[in-house]
Amino acid sequence: MVLVIMDGVGYGAYKDGDAVQAARMDNFALIAGTSACTRLKAHGTAVGLPSDDDMGNSEVGHNAIGSGRVFAQGAKLVSGSIASGALFQGSTWKKLVQNTKATGGALHFIGLFSDGNVHSHIDHLKAMITRAVDEGVPRVRVHILLDGRDVGETSALDYVIPFEDFLAEQNKRGGDCRIASGGGRMWITMDRYNADWSMVDRGWQTHVRGEGRCFKSAREAIETYRAEIPGVIDQDLKAFVIAGSDGKPLGPINDGDSVVYFNFRGDRALEITSAFETPSGAEFHFDRKRVPKVEYAGMMEYDGDLHIPRQYLVEPPAIDRTLAEYLCASVVRQLAISETQKYGHVTYFFNGNKLGKFNEALEDYEEIKSDIVPFEQRPWMKCAEITDRVIQAIGSGDFAFIRLNFPNGDMVGHTGVFNAVVCAMEALDLQLGRLKKAVDAAGGVMILTADHGNADDMYEHDKKTGEVLRKKDGSPRAKTSHSLNPVPAVIYDPEYKGEYARTLKEGLGISSLAATCVDLLGLIPPADYDRSLLNFR
């Protein structure tokens, strides 16, 4: 059986801006037209997020698919911990605050600066700054990673300007709170899966050393870069350092300071965390020149097996008995494969935030190295290479269960370049045709699904009228964030003999896929897994 996760591919609500619908996807149409199909929820409460206004994302999506159940996820856990006061009563927060008061140092916050609620939320940052001022922290410095990906592509000032007003209010209350540095999330700091450590290097020099192009304010930096690079979107803005009236950086990170990385999602937190926590030495990925002696904490524990970071503010969800673990216990040989950009999703996140295998003898993990180029320049990414290996694996007969992720719809979707996303979808569709032939030859079963939508909603629309919102030049306003749209569940079973009804259950979420996979493998799903999609006769 082959589980194909078409990352970021949903059913769009609008024809205009739906790159999935605009693409010629003949193979997908052929497979869906001869298969049992339904639509699954992949956002909000269906994947453990606080409300149905919250977009799904790849982390929680793969958690839900892989665990077969819905767990309260990062945003919900952090919001609850702040509301109850538990975060501020915890030993880590107290240690961070006490350290700054004892040394006279600063409390630094680094993280994604938006309300996208995928990696972070600006309300969490504000709550911690307010509390820090209440508790007499000498200085607060904020290092902002501009989004333009989970929110509007050029929305940075919509966050910066009100935030500066918020900081001014805190300073009236006796605080010393300033933005110290920043840059686009895809230019500095937020690399993942060791794809491009130069991003982390640039972030380190900017946040920690306070080295880089200086501006009087974050607003000035953003407006300057936009004027210098027409068409640049927030996620790609270059790094900047904020200097005081004396021309010196406002917030380099020094010995005796405390640092909070306030993203709750782990994949783009691990590398910058290791930069703070790994001792000096040639084994590291770039020359940090110095590692300040600080109290460092993450918002959550980003890796529960390796216990990274060593200190964190909120306990992550405890996800146990995942699909992969269950199949290992049932002696089912498995292959998990993707390219670098989503390799951790079909392994770490799919396995309930567990790094490593459940059974070395029964599991193979394979990573196809991603190109380090802007995704709109290579929209086909590595989908052909992934398919090459999966076809080989199917033909070998070595694996009973294969799971793979095609990143195209999500990674290219985040660029906002519509034609590139159409190209990405058509490249993916070619590989679906190849997989179909391999599954046919093996007498197997294939499920086509997704972890959330993205490529299906590439333009901003008026929420009331549904009309495309446009720029001053008349072109559509690109949408670079995930969608709230349902995703496919297509069960391609070429040797179907009526074992189950062709009509699948309706109204379920992507967490139902685990039990469905177990059913199709001829096993009995765990009793507490969410319902299978199959109606047995």
Question: Looking at the annotation, which residues are catalytic?
Answer: 58
In the structure, how many helices (H) and strands (E) does the chain have? 17, 15
How is residue 487 annotated by DSSP? E
Element at 107 (helix H, strand E): strand 106-112
* 519's tokens: 């059913």
Contact (Cβ atoms closer than 8 angstroms) between residue 267 and residue 300:
no
| Distance in angstroms (rounded) separating the CA atoms of residues 458 and 477 | 9
Contact (Cβ atoms closer than 8 angstroms) between residue 111 and residue 261:
yes
Contact (Cβ atoms closer than 8 angstroms) between residue 160 and residue 125:
no
Which of 313, 302, 316 is CA-nearest to residue 125? 313
Peptide bond connecting 309 to the previous residue in cis, omega within 30 degrees of 0: yes
Strands (E), 237-310: 240-242, 258-261, 295-300
CB atoms inside a 10 Å sphere around CB 267 = 24
Taken in order 22, 451, 266, 135, the sign of the CA dihedral is positive
Phi–psi pair at 419, nearest 5 degrees: -65, -35
**Where do the H-state alpha helices sit in 34-73?**
58-67
Phi–psi pair at 491, nearest 5 degrees: -105, 105
- Note every long-range contact of 211-216, with CB atoms under 8 Å and residues 24 or more positions apart, other chains counting: 211/241, 211/249, 212/181, 212/239, 212/240, 212/241, 213/238, 213/239, 213/240, 213/241, 214/240, 214/241, 214/242, 214/243, 214/247, 214/249, 215/240, 215/241, 215/242, 215/243, 216/242, 216/243
CB atoms inside a 10 Å sphere around CB 90 = 18
Which of 60, 37, 62 is CA-nearest to residue 323? 62
| Distance in angstroms (rounded) separating the CA atoms of residues 297 and 261 | 6
First to last CA, the chain: 21
Phi–psi pair at 146, nearest 5 degrees: -70, 145
Phi-psi region of 473 (alpha: psi -120 to 50; beta: other; left: phi over 0): alpha
CB atoms inside a 10 Å sphere around CB 28 = 22
